[in-house]
Structure 1
Amino acid sequence: MTRSLEPMLDFFLREKGELVHINSVRQLALIQDATNTIQMTDEKIIRAATPLHTGDIVDYRYERYLITSQVDRNEQSCRGRMKKCNQWLALNWNGQVRWFDAVVEARTFSTETGKVISMPEGNILITVQDNTDTRGITLSQRFYITHQPFKIVGIDRTMNGIIQLSCTLDSINTAYDDVENNIADRWKYEITHTYALQINQRTIAYVPLNETIPLNVTATDNGNEIANPAITYTSSDPSVISVDQQGRVMGIALGQASITAKLTYHLTVQSTIEIRVVETGTHIYSIAITGNPILKTGQSASYVSHIYDHGVEVFDQSVEWSLQNQDHSTPIMGSITSSSGNSVTIKAGSRGRVNHKALILTATLVSDPSITTEKTISLKNLF
């Protein structure tokens, strides 16, 4: 006598079922592939002893699935068809962004009766759970999938538990869309962030063997300095130079390597510096000049030299100053009016048209005249 298939499946559910989470509740379920062939969408059959409903979220083997079919029930168990949520969808309601697990199908998709429906190029079908948030979805609402913009052109709410969205390709709004993070209209309601990161020890620094130097790093957002930014540091060759996450660099062996600093939560924002390991006791000096890069006719400005040894600022060295025209012409279109320690005051000339002309201010290390640096000071007419 042939045994019914249903009691056998219920037996396997009890004996061979796997632990899954259904709507975040731990349950025992029997999972099997919906088809014998590999398809574009990962579709499976789920059987559970507890109630199942269309639109239930199932977490199975570190993947999330959505029950998209109607559910069959017998006295012992429930059975349904579920599809893997292959996209994380952001929808924006006037600045309130909410994320949803979604099943996204393009070009073609299968129906429960086995038919295949073809979709026009550039159109996609999205299935999401029917809940309080998704009920607020409206026609013409925009969103991004894999950095491509789409617009909702149809909404199907006929099946209890899920909502299906017919969508077509849209155009990118460069003023408002956060394309990188797949959020439409983000900057319409939020401030656009422009991050920058700079290692301030020029392009090359030096560290003595078996000693450490700190990196001087500045991070800004829209030009404003960020206090205590989260920065990740890496060395291109830790066997030569190591770096900790406070930016302290140690010379491990003679040689050189590059150190890269990245904003921890914006890893594309980065700065790199070459570090050379030298014998202990070797002085490696460098100079940086700070001050206004623009000077108007007849006006004065002060400039300061900062002297570094192995990238660390020192205060026992001094510089000599000199001034010349950028094009080496004479007379010089400015003068040094005072000099005190490592600071100097420059006054621009008061005659002639000087727009598009510039002065070159040079600082030369007194103890080693081979160490120099220059600063270009652009000149502008007062009126």
Structure 2
Amino acid sequence: MINLFDNNIDDFTFLLDQMGSDVLINDNPVKALITNTNLEQNYDDRRISSLSPLKRGDIVVYSGKKYMIISEVNGQRYNKYKGIMRHLPHHIIVNSKCRFYYLDCYINTSNLGVIDGRVLSMPDGDITVISNDAIKDFDFKIDARFLLYGQAFKVTGIDRFSKPGMLILTCEKDLIDEQADDLINGIAGGLSCPVDFVSNGIELTVGNTHQLNWTSAEDAPVKFSSSDITIATVDANGIVTGITAGQATITVANATNERIRDTVTVTVKDTPAGYTISLTSTGDLEQINKGYTRTYNAVVAESNNVVNEPVKWELFADDQVSTTTLAEITSQTGTSCVVKGIALGYVQLKVSLVSDPVVYIWQRIRVKSLI
């Protein structure tokens, strides 16, 4: 006979094998015993028992639904972990200064009717949103907003201390802003967080790079992608590199909401036959100490043979377009120049062939502190 209350782990393992369900706990597949509970009639609560560790705030995926462990789990009892999990019927997108957080949650309220996960009436006021505390390392702010069934709410309180592992947001009704709120996609303030490229189009030759310039509302983080990495690649800092001749589309998107994006077309041309330019330096090509100088030398080659062809030296801001005050060229000849670091940051040195300006290279330089 199986005794559910003794310390025989083999009995519980047998139960798991015969009656257990395959679930995900924080995305990890495990076996668990799920049973009904009548502890709270207004919510879909279940008991969960497993040999795998459980803690409050853990997300459990069971029968295609997301649940959260809401009970405090104080280690093993009878060689297993036991807890109460609650269904998370709502999925909201919270906008905190153009940083977007996606929360699966349940809602508590005394003023609003909640049945089967739908808000029926909102005559007044406040709701409490309960989720797991997965965003504790992010910059989550008071006054963050979200939309729920066509109604706007504003966060007035953030509690992640009273029930460790859970995030409890006190929220109040807010006015819909039709100019800022993306009502179609259900994103509060989604229309007021644009990300835009400054350039309309970019041309570069194979092997050369170009620093993209963009704006992002609230300085929200962005990420980049290329439609065809065989033609042009782009790194996390927005530096595009030409790979082969052709056209590619570069996209910049809000790092936490990819619906907010902008694109620019990059045209990559073949390097003109014959000439190439490379640089040498008295030290590290990529950096200069503030207040110091570095000499750059241009080596021009034709069919891999060094030739005596003069070059033109130009210094730009990191966007490869604007002027810069972070560094200056103090002297130059047709084959070398001296760059002085003035203030901390990045500048771009352009070196082009005088006889054929289509032949050029960029050198990104960091002006850094001596210490």
Task: Give me the TM-score of the superposition, normalised by structure 2.
Answer: 0.44
Task: Give me the TM-score of the superposition, normalised by structure 1.
Answer: 0.43
